[in-house]
Amino acid sequence: MTTETHSSTEHGMSNAGYVKIALILAAITALEVATYYVDFGPLFMPALMIMMVVKFVVVVSYFMHLKFDNKLFTWVFYAGLFLALGVYAVALATFHFFS
């Protein structure tokens, strides 16, 4: 294998696109911080979790190019992520963390 590569810039995004995404991320972050000051009632936890997941997925899909790259990368990464989620959630559940 050679060290030089031409990766997926062809199907990547324009710089303006990246800036747009960063603005969206910034807006979500602002909303997240807002939950700290404004009472969202029962929506608080779900809203926070959804915003966290959205930010995570956006960074991974666009900034890390997973959306445009080979699916193999997506599989190995999300395999680790979901495995972590699975085993640690179960371990915490045995400590009655969620109840």
Partner 1 sequence: MWFTLAEHAVITAGEHDTGHGDHHTSTGLSNNKLGMWLFLGSECLLFGGLISTYMLYRGRVGEGPRPSQVFDIPFTSVSSFVLLMSSLTMVLAVSAAHKGDDRNTNLWVTITALLGATFVGGQVYEFTAFYNEGMGFTTSLFSSSFYVLTGFHGVHVTVGIIMLMSIVGIMKRSKTPGSKAETVEMIGLYWHFVDVVWIIIFTLIYLVPA
Partner 2 sequence: MAIIERPPSTEVATPATPSSSLGALKRPVSTTGWKSWVFTVDHKKLGIMYSATALFFFIVGGLEAVLIRLQLAAPNGKVLNADLYNQMFTMHATTMVFLFVMPMAAGLANYFIPLQIGARDVAFPRINAFGFWAFLFGGIFINLSWFMGGAADGGWFMYAPNSGPVFSPSHGIDFWTLGLQITGIASLTGAVNLITTVLNMRAPGMKLMRMPIFTWMQLVVQFLLLFAVPVITVALFLLSFQRNFGATFFDVASGADPLLWQHLFWIFGHPEVYILILPSFGVISEVLPVFSRKPLFGYPFVVFSGAAIGFVGWGVWAHHMFASGLGPVSVAVFSVATMAIAVPTGVKVVNWTMTLWGGKLEFTVAMKFAIGLIVLFTIGGLSGVTHSVAPSDTQQTDTYYIVAHFHYVLFGGAIFGLFSGFYYWWPKVFGKLLNEKLGTWNFWLMVIGMNMTFGPMHILGLQGQPRRMYVWTEQRAGEGFFNLGFWNTFASIGSLILTVGVLLFLINIVITARNGKIAPLDPWNARSLEWMTSNPPKEHNFDSIPTVSHLDEFFHRKYQEDANGQMVQVKTAEQVLKELEDNADAHIHMPSPSYWPIIIALGLPVIAFGMIYSIPISIVGGVIVLFGVYGWAIEPSTAPDDDFDPPTTTKDVVHVG
User: Which stretches of the chain bind partner 2, using CB under 8 A?
Assistant: 1-3, 72, 79-80, 83, 86-87, 90-91, 93-95
- Buried-exposed string 49-58: b where 16+ CB fall within 10 A, e elsewhere: eeeeeeeeeb
CB of 6 to partner 1, least distance (A): 4
Residues 23 and 62: beta-carbon distance below 8 Å = no
77 binds, among partner 2, partner 1, none (CB under 5 to 8 A by kind): partner 1
CA–CA dist 15, 79 (Å, integer) = 30
Output 8 or 43, the one with its CB closest to partner 1: 8
CB of 19 to partner 1, least distance (A): 7
Which two structure tokens, joined as six digits, stand for 10?
């062809």
Site string (3-22) toward partner 1, x via CB under 8 A: xxxxxxx--x--x--xx-xx
Interaction of residue 88 with partner 1, rule CB under 8 A? yes
Which two structure tokens, joined as six digits, stand for 45?
């936890």
